[in-house]
Chain A
Amino acid sequence: MQTLLSKYTPVTESEVKIWFKAGPIHAFPDNAGACVKYQDKQIAVFHFTAQGRWYACQNLCPHRMEMVLSRGLIGDEKGEPKVACPMHKRTFSLLTGENLNGDCGTIAVYPVKVSDGEVYIGFS
């Protein structure tokens, strides 16, 4: 289990070495999430269409080690964008990866950029 978790380490914009092309904008649902495969990683990518923002985090929920976060509902808590795990509704900040309603630990978040209609996720 730990090995599964250890695959995911947060990446900040300045650390990005590779911008991985995940797919065209229209491949992603509006105001919701989808899962991207990058090597042996599963990355959840969220399109906050109404706000014109994109966020990415590990698809793995640290609570029960389920690959499900991309299927969670998104929204905000006091302005901070978040995703709620569909299993038991643990919520995670999409800015910091922090668990906002429990002590599940922090998930890895990744930078996202969009250019020429394509969505890219940053890895180090």
Chain B
Amino acid sequence: MGNDKLGVFVYRTIEDLEQITQYGMKLAAKGVATPAAVLGGGLLGLEAAKAVRDLGLETHVVEFAPRLMPRQLDERAADLLREAIQGIGVQVHLSKNTRLIAGQERMSHLEFVDGSSLPAEMLVISAGILPRDELASLGGLEVGPRGGVVVDEYMRSSDPNVYAIGEVALYQGMVLALVAPGYEMAEVAVGNILGKDNSMSPVVDLSTSLKLIGIDVASFGDVFGTQAPQRAIVFEDKLKGIYKRLNVSEDGKKLLGGILVGEASDYNQLLQIYKNGITLPPEPEALIVKLAGGESAFGSVLDLPDAAVICSCESVSKGQICAAVSEAGCETLKAITKCTKAISGCGGCKPMVDDLLKGALKAMGKTVKETVCEHFPHSRQELFDIVKVKNYTRFETVIAEHGTGYGCEVCKPVLASIFASIHAETAVAQSGIQDTNDRFLANIQRNGTYSVVPRIPGGEITPEKLIAIGEVAQKYALYTKITGGQRIDLFGARLDDLPFIWEELIAAGFESGHAYGKALRTVKSCVGSTWCRFGMLDSVSFAIEVEERYKGIRAPHKIKGGVSGCIRECAEARGKDFGIIATEEGWNLYVCGNGGANPKHAVLLAEKIDSQTCLRYLDRFLMFYIKTAGPLVRTAPWLEKMEGGINYLREVIVNDSLGIGAELDVDMANLINNYQCEWKEAVENPAIRARFKHFVNSEETDENIEFVSLREQKMPRAW
């Protein structure tokens, strides 16, 4: 067949992977698009294809069957997956029976039985799992014709004293390379070793949910609907790349299996319904098609039977979780994990456990109110309303009238943020309730020095200003770095140098960039239609306008924005709390995205709007967020928790369904009109300026601050 040629790899061990990477990188380094192929369009093959693509090679997947993932997906699902995969630049070749790996010493192309061929300088063979059954064969155990230790429903091999489980076992003629059956096999084997009489369930659970090349793919139960008379409900959206299929019993009452491609966030809930034999709602299609209004059709986890396994990694049932709350007295997710181990595996069950916790607490008559901390019996939103209605201006008054104790590091910054949003107050006014960063208007870093970030709206800056920043950095010996938000961060400033640094930056025309605050950070822009040959609209000018409009505005968490001049989206605007993207017919406004540990794409709020409309929606959106989000909740999780989701938000912002639009407009205008640069405020007021000293009783600086050198600059000594 030719698989001894250079460039041909199998995909099994770490060493294989290392060799593939090395070889692939060498090919990619040639610079031209070098073709590489992956043999096998199953789970592993597609994973391998992604790896090959990530190496920078022109990637082809070759599959013997007429569709991808033939064991898990039906034709339409596989078709959609193929389109999605091709959409990211991986070519797919189906119904191809490889005849020969051709070439001299190195492979050059593949030849197929149908006479066609495919140029490829590398081939990764990923056609199924090869059980490592060498030991078993040596020991005389029965193995299958294509490998695998033959086991019965008790996991016993041909020698009843030897058991095999997992990928080495051949059960019902199949090697099962999935984790769920692995768990079941382990349980069965242990049970039998201990003398119990348990056996595998008659139908092996092949349910899986994973991300393949960034695409959700999940299937569960009877995928193809062949095991019992049933009917299928199918939803397909080719535009968004979503396919969902539910196999429902003939009477429409039970869920027997299903497939989800492109969007699988409901997998866990569907799996629970299937596994526990829960009766379906009268209109089961609601389970896969989100109805207007966004109400979930799933009912609540509380309706599951006690035996329902909620955390499959640790096999913890609903009953155990509820008992942890009602009997062991757990009141937090952490406590439940400690007590039952739930959530400690993949974490996929966390939302369900959270719902169970709340439900169980409620059933015990305990209110689960999200209070800010022990000092206030209120949520952030309630505190916001209290401060607004009573027009409070001081922390001391609010805690005396509505709280207990002295306050703490949680409620003080929350109230500071509320005062800022209601009275357009800068962080200088009540510095004692600000977090360190806000108190000193800079970001504390390792070794207790600070970093300074001047505002550079939209990332546009003149050569003169660049020079000014450079001169300040030189003078105060600061480490400089370009940030992800298109501005420049100056690190290593001593507390007592801060006012002098700001003074010089202000003289050069800069203002605070609020990099230290839970506030608007930057509005990132691409170069836009003024220079870019693809640009539809002037993204830089608009980004500057937007950044200037909202600068200094404080919120429950930081806010980032972006403006892109065309759908190529170079400003990565959909990874921001708000993103504005130019189209031929105007701006599209997206909201509630973020980067970071848990990236979320912003979702469309309004499309084809002009600049003014865009600003009005943004005003309302931001003000609504500022008023209603919990402390330190960014826009993405805020939206996630909002009942009705984006449709509801759109109603409030665009159609003013709550009738609060005018009020939001006024509140936002108040913030915009009363903006002041707090650096300026601090350097010009001698009493405030005096705060920036390391010692109250000495002019000396902190002698403990140490730096070491780093690539011609400096960094703090390591911890």
Contact residues of A with B, CB < 8 Å?
A: 4, 22-23, 27-32, 34-37, 42, 45, 48, 50-51, 64-68, 71-79, 81-82, 84, 86-87, 89, 91
Chain A residues positioned under 8 Å from B719 (CB to CB) = 64-65
Q: Is B67 close to A, CB under 8 A? A: no
Q: Report the separation of the CA atoms of residues A76 and B404 in the bound assembly, to the nearest whole angstrom.
A: 10
Q: Report the separation of the CA atoms of residues A36 and B698 in the bound assembly, to the nearest whole angstrom.
A: 8
The answer to whether A71 and B440 have CB atoms under 8 Å apart is yes
Within the complex, the shortest CB–CB distance from A102 to chain B, in Å, comes to 14
Contact with A along B395-409 (1 / 0, CB 8 A): 110000000011111
Knowing A36-B696, A73-B412, A75-B405, say if A29 contacts B431 (CB, 8 Å): yes
Question: A28 — nearest CB in chain B belongs to which residue?
Answer: B696
Chain B residues positioned under 8 Å from A76 (CB to CB) = 405-408
The answer to whether A79 and B695 have CB atoms under 8 Å apart is no
User: Which chain B residues (360-377) contact chain A, with CB distance < 8 Å?
Assistant: 374-375
Q: Report the separation of the CA atoms of residues A35 and B701 in the bound assembly, to the nearest whole angstrom.
A: 11
The answer to whether A4 and B704 have CB atoms under 8 Å apart is yes
Chain A residues positioned under 8 Å from B431 (CB to CB) = 29, 32
Knowing A4-B704, A35-B695, A36-B695, say if A71 contacts B436 (CB, 8 Å): yes
Chain B residues positioned under 8 Å from A66 (CB to CB) = 446-448
Knowing A4-B704, A34-B696, A72-B436, say if A51 contacts B406 (CB, 8 Å): yes
The answer to whether B696 and A23 have CB atoms under 8 Å apart is yes
The answer to whether A84 and B409 have CB atoms under 8 Å apart is yes
In-complex Cβ contact of B444 among A27, A73, A81, A86 (8 A): A86
In-complex Cβ contact of B374 among A37, A67, A77 (8 A): A77
Contact residues of B with A, CB < 8 Å?
A: 374-375, 395-396, 405-409, 411-413, 431-433, 435-437, 439-440, 444, 446-448, 691, 694-698, 700, 702, 704-705, 719
Chain A residues positioned under 8 Å from B433 (CB to CB) = 31, 73
For the complex with contacts A37-B695, A75-B408, A76-B408, 17 further pairs of A-B residues with Cβ separation under 8 Å are: A28-B696, A30-B432, A31-B433, A35-B695, A36-B695, A37-B698, A42-B702, A68-B436, A68-B444, A71-B436, A75-B409, A77-B374, A79-B405, A82-B408, A84-B409, A86-B435, A86-B444
Q: Report the separation of the CA atoms of residues A75 and B294 in the bound assembly, to the nearest whole angstrom.
A: 42
Q: Report the separation of the CA atoms of residues A32 and B406 in the bound assembly, to the nearest whole angstrom.
A: 12
Q: Report the separation of the CA atoms of residues A69 and B405 in the bound assembly, to the nearest whole angstrom.
A: 21
Chain A residues positioned under 8 Å from B409 (CB to CB) = 72-73, 75, 84, 89, 91
Question: A82 — nearest CB in chain B belongs to which residue?
Answer: B408
Chain B residues positioned under 8 Å from A35 (CB to CB) = 694-696
Residue picked from B412, B439, B448, most chain A C-beta under 10 Å = B448
Within the complex, the shortest CB–CB distance from B415 to chain A, in Å, comes to 12
Chain A residues positioned under 8 Å from B406 (CB to CB) = 48, 50-51, 74-76, 81
Within the complex, the shortest CB–CB distance from A85 to chain B, in Å, comes to 9
Question: A71 — nearest CB in chain B belongs to which residue?
Answer: B436
Chain A residues positioned under 8 Å from B696 (CB to CB) = 22-23, 27-28, 34-36, 45
Chain B residues positioned under 8 Å from A31 (CB to CB) = 395-396, 432-433
Within the complex, the shortest CB–CB distance from A41 to chain B, in Å, comes to 11
Q: Report the separation of the CA atoms of residues A2 and B374 in the bound assembly, to the nearest whole angstrom.
A: 35
Chain B residues positioned under 8 Å from A67 (CB to CB) = 448, 702, 704-705
The answer to whether B691 and A73 have CB atoms under 8 Å apart is no
Residue picked from A31, A36, A64, most chain B C-beta under 10 Å = A31
In-complex Cβ contact of A36 among B435, B437, B697 (8 A): B697
Knowing A22-B696, A50-B396, A71-B439, say if A78 contacts B374 (CB, 8 Å): yes
The answer to whether A27 and B697 have CB atoms under 8 Å apart is yes
Within the complex, the shortest CB–CB distance from A79 to chain B, in Å, comes to 7
Within the complex, the shortest CB–CB distance from B196 to chain A, in Å, comes to 43
Q: Report the separation of the CA atoms of residues A82 and B696 in the bound assembly, to the nearest whole angstrom.
A: 21
Question: A65 — nearest CB in chain B belongs to which residue?
Answer: B719
Q: Report the separation of the CA atoms of residues A29 and B374 in the bound assembly, to the nearest whole angstrom.
A: 25
The answer to whether A22 and B435 have CB atoms under 8 Å apart is no
Chain A residues positioned under 8 Å from B446 (CB to CB) = 64, 66
